[in-house]
Amino acid sequence: MKFLITGGGTGGHIYPALAIANEIRDRYKDAEILYVGTKKGMESELVPKEGFNFKTIRVKGFPRKFSKEMFKTVKELFLGLNDAKKIIKEFQPDVVIGTGGYVCGPVVYIASKKKIPTIIHEQNAFPGITNKILSRYVDKIALSFEESVKYFKYPNKISITGNPVRKSLFLVDKNSAYKKLSVDPVIPLVLSFGGSGGQKKLNDSMFHVIKENADNSNIQILHITGKRFYEDFTKKLKKENIVIKENIKILPYFFDMPEGLNIANLVVTSAGAITISEITALGIPSIIIPKSYTAENHQVYNAKALEKKGASLVILEEDLTGEKLNNSIKKLLEDEEALSTMKKNSKKLGKIEAVNEIVDIIEGMIK
């Protein structure tokens, strides 16, 4: 069987696509899988590393405001549609799977017009524009949040599957993780990060938290600044003569996120769809600070979906201060009952079988 997968631009679209692709490869040893993306998207680097065949089309996202760039984008869209036609004609897929991002627009649309079974997956509580447009043409729609249903006009196509998460998340030995990360299992660990690229407002507030807890042996903090913020963060620590002791670790990037998440007592993070899926899959209490500059403000919708169910405390960037964050962390860690309730509510929202459910739907479409 032949599976064509498309989606890209950011990790939020790519990682779910790769999770689906890996599950298909595990189930069907003779499966032919082709991933279609763009040259400039992160997928051009990530997908080949996973061992999948990769082809590109010419397409880019529409600008938010009308400008001369709009005409170039329209021209590129038609080029992308032609590229998609050629790839689909050559590959002859049995099914086409789209995970969002402008790249999947031409590919999924052309496949639907050729009567090839199509499915899209939406990661966010507030859907992206590409998936909203494609929902009219596809056969199936897989959603991560119940809150997304109201934005689609075709309820008979919808399944609430959750967001696919990496299997390595569930294979962590906690004792080994404590040793590997030099973390004391008896003292609460706060893991803080603002997505893969970091988050300035979160960093600014965590600086205050670290400053206030530099001599506090009753808390452990593992803070990931993001590569672009690391140098400024560490310079500021030196400037203010803040001595970092064993209970606090500051890194530019973190390659051991599955281990870190499994042993964290509290996570402070932004509201990317993948991050939310992983913390709920493991049932981790969280303080979420949604980035205010994301497309359609989707991170706020993601965060509010968790807060509504009592799985997280949400602080908007506009309301965030170092003092407020420090007080919130302290209050939660001191209230075992509140932390336990938040953990249970988070776990209830976790969809650990998401990728299996999605591939089950795909199987049903091609049998």
Does position 233 have pLDDT exceeding 80, yes or no?
Answer: yes
Count of other CB atoms within 10 angstroms of residue 272: 27
Give DSSP secondary structure letters for 217-259. TT-EEEEE--HHHHHHHHHHHHHTTPPP-TTEEEES--S-HHH
CA-CA distance, 50 to 22, in Å (whole number)? 9
| Average pLDDT of the residues of the chain | 93
More confident residue, 234 or 62: 234
Which residue(s) pair with 248 in the sheet?
221
Picking from 59-68, 91-100, 251-260, 273-282, which range would have the lowest pLDDT averaged per residue? Answer: 59-68
Categorize the per-residue pLDDT at 41 as very low, low, confident or very high, splitting at 50, 70 and 90.
confident
Picking from 152-156, 235-239, 294-298, which range would have the lowest pLDDT averaged per residue? Answer: 294-298
* pLDDT (0 to 100) of residue 65: 56
Q: SS3 of 53, please?
A: strand
* pLDDT (0 to 100) of residue 68: 61
pTM (2 d.p.): 0.84
**Length of the chain in terms of residues written:** 367
Q: Can you read off the two tokens belonging to residue 203?
A: 């960093």
* pLDDT (0 to 100) of residue 194: 92
Does position 294 have pLDDT exceeding 70, yes or no?
Answer: no
- Give the chain's domains with CATH numbers: 2-165+352-366 (3.40.50.2000), 168-349 (3.40.50.2000)
